[in-house]
Amino acid sequence: MPENTPTPGAVPEGAADGTPHLQFRDVVKKFGDNTVLDDLNFSVSQGERVTLIGPSGSGKTTILRLVMTLEELTGGYIDISGQPLQYTERGGKRVRVPDKQRRRTTTQIGMVFQHFNLFPNMTVMENIIEAPVHVMGLGRDEAADKAEALLDKVGMAWKKDARPSQLSGGQQQRVAIARALAMDPEILLLDEVTSALDPELVGEVLGVLKDIAAETDISMLIVTHEMQFARDVSHRVMMFDQGSVVEQDSPEKIFTEPEHQRTQDFLRAVL
């Protein structure tokens, strides 16, 4: 087992204070008449890395988009460190959280997207310092020093003056990871970060993410079809189908002794 593989069932450091870092309570998400998530309840502890697996269309990416407030909840609640993200309960009613409070809460969350989403008109360095300067209020010199260190961490310091169009897909994704980390997120969301890459580039990106998992206590919620990556970095794996959790357990249990027939069929198809 790789040295950065979490011990199955181990509680991450910082998870014992009782307050989930991320919590879904009775979450419902509909697009028109289509119910994508139905009465979803689960939580992620401080420092825990949870991977969502399952067939396309099962609602996994929608979960991440709800946490980033890129989608609106239809029903239920999401809490970040005990604070309401989109909606709260007041006087027995479900009320919308003010936009200013939403924005403040989402600064704790970083997301790396499937298709990189870098600004094409900016250099690598400019992409990384944009949010720290304009959202966090860092000085440009401080932001640049931080960006240099992060680019060095992901092996991209030598491309700091390049534009995204001059980079390979794997290089763009490593820059996108550095950009997400530049905001000092407490929670990192990873959405199929290798699915848009050529097969030979997948390893370099997964290697960077494994290092981050080993070196930090950032909580991670991961959507991936890379089962070995899920096995290596996760404390817990959740199998989704049709908007609901089929089963969840340690990677060792899910990948070697899944209990549910749907999980068995899915893993047989992808492994």
Q: pLDDT by residue (tens digit) across 127-181?
A: 999 989 988 888 999 999 999 999 998 989 999 999 999 999 889 989 999 999 9
Helix-strand-coil split of the chain, %, nearest 5:
35, 25, 40
**Would you put residue 221 in left (φ > 0), alpha (ψ -120 to 50) or beta?**
beta
204 CB-contact burial (10 Å; exposed 0-12 / middle 13-18 / buried 19+): middle
pTM across the whole model = 0.88
Between 115 and 156, name the one with better pLDDT.
156
Q: What is the pLDDT of residue 14?
A: 42
User: Positive or negative, the Cα torsion across 123, 129, 133, 135?
Assistant: positive
Q: What is the pLDDT of residue 200?
A: 79
pLDDT average, residue stretch 85-98: 93
Q: What is the pLDDT of residue 17?
A: 58
Which DSSP state fits 116?
A: -
